[in-house]
Amino acid sequence: MLAPELPYVTLEDPDTRAFATEDPRAFLRQVSDGAILDEVQRVPALFSYLQGVVDADRRMGRFILTGSSQFELIESITQSLAGRASMLTLLPFSQGELQAANRAVDSVNALLHTGFFPPIHDRQIKPTPWLQDYVATYLERDVRQLLNIHNLGAFQRFIQLCAGRIGQLVNISSLAADAGITRVTAESWLSVLQASHVLFLVRPWFSNLGKRLIKTPKLYFCDCGLAAWFLGVQQAQHLQALPQRGALFENWIMTELLKAQSNRGIKPSLYFLRDKQGHEVDALIQTAPDTFQAIAIKSGETIASDFFNGLNYWRTTLKQHTLVPWIIHGGTAHQNRETATVLPWSDLSPLLDALA
C-alpha cells in the first residue's frame, strides 16, 4: 500500500534467495528502479552490494527492506547501510487500528487474552494456539539461537518470571536467582528480548537527566496477549480471577502509548513517576517544554476517589511543570473533571489526540 508501484520480492523463496546469494549484482540490476525486499535478513551479504547501488543513485525511498527478525535486520543495516536508511518499527496492532477495521473485541478480558498480533485478527484465529506456535518458532528457536542458549527450560522460566513481574521495578539479581542463572546472563537475555520486541522497559522521570538514566525501570511485554499466555491464561474468563489482571491492563495501556509515538516515527519517550513513599503516576509523556501528559491506569470498572491520589500529589509536588492529568479505567464512564479527564478503556482517542 505504501509503494504499489514497486515490485515485491521475498527472499523467503528458496530460488530467489539462491539468486540473491550467488549473484547479488545481477539480482539488484533486476530491481534497479527499486523494490520491496521482504525477509531481507536471509541474505546478509546483499546489504554490502545494496550500499553501492544506493550510493550510485541517491534517489530516496527506492528500496523498502522488511524482515521478521529484528535483531539480524538491524545488525546488517548498521554494518552496511548506516546513514542511508530510515528505520520504522512495526509493533502489533493498536486498539484504534482494530476499531477502524471493525475487528476490536468487546470486553477487557477478551482484549487482554487475545492481544494484538496481526495474524490473530487478520485470520480471526484463536489466540492460544497461535501464541503457542509463536513462542515455539520465534522465542524458543530464533531468539534462543541468537543468545546461544542451551538450557531451554531456564530460558522459558526466565520469560515466565518476567511475565509475573509486569509493571514492577526490575530487580535483576532477584530475577536471575529465581531463574537459576547468573546476573550477567539475565542482563544479556533481557537485552536481547528488548531488541527482539518481546519486552520493553519504562524508566522513571526526573528533571535531572543523569538521575533518570540510573534509576530502576519497570518491565512490560510488547503484547499483553503474549504476557497472558506466559501467565497460563487459556480463556478470557480466566482473567477475572487472575491476580495479575490489573498489571496486564496497565501493560496494555502502556503499549498503546508506545504505539502512539512509534507509529508516527517518533522515538518513544515514555516514563513513570514514583517516590519511596509510593506516590505514583503510571505513565508520563512530555508534549511541550514544560508540559506533560500524566496518566493513571486503573483496571477497576467503578471510579474510586483514590484513583486521583497519585495525580494530585505529583501535580502539587511538580509545580514548576504542567501535568495534564488523565485516568484510564476498565469501565465505561467518560468524565471531564477538574482534577482529571477520565476515559473508558474502549475510547483512548482524546488522550492519543493530545499526544499528537
Contact yes or no for 127/115 (Cβ under 8 A): yes
List the chain pLDDT tens, one digit each, 356 residues. 888 999 999 999 999 999 999 999 999 999 989 999 999 888 888 888 888 888 888 888 889 998 876 666 666 666 666 777 778 888 999 999 999 999 999 999 999 999 999 999 999 899 999 999 988 887 767 676 666 766 778 888 999 999 999 999 999 999 999 999 999 999 988 988 888 889 999 999 987 655 554 578 999 999 999 999 999 999 999 999 999 999 999 999 999 999 999 888 888 889 999 888 888 999 999 998 889 999 999 999 999 999 999 999 999 988 889 999 999 999 999 999 999 999 999 999 999 999 98
Cell numbers standing for residue 336: 471531564
Longest dimension (CA), the chain: 68
Residue 136: predicted pLDDT: 85
Domain boundaries, the chain: 8-80, 95-247, 271-355
Pick from 72, 271, 67, 282: nearest CA to 167: 282
Contact yes or no for 76/42 (Cβ under 8 A): no
Distances, alpha carbon 142 to alpha carbons 51, 71, 145, 193, in Å? 26, 10, 5, 11
Contact yes or no for 114/120 (Cβ under 8 A): yes
Q: Coil, strand, or helix at residue 113?
A: helix
Cell numbers standing for residue 167: 509493571
pTM value surpassing 0.95: no
Cell numbers standing for residue 188: 544479556
Residue 266: predicted pLDDT: 82
CATH class held by domain 95-247? mainly alpha
CATH class held by domain 271-355? alpha beta
What are phi and psi for residue 309, nearest 5 degrees?
-60, -50
DSSP string covering 273-294: EE-TT--EEEEEEEEETTEEEE
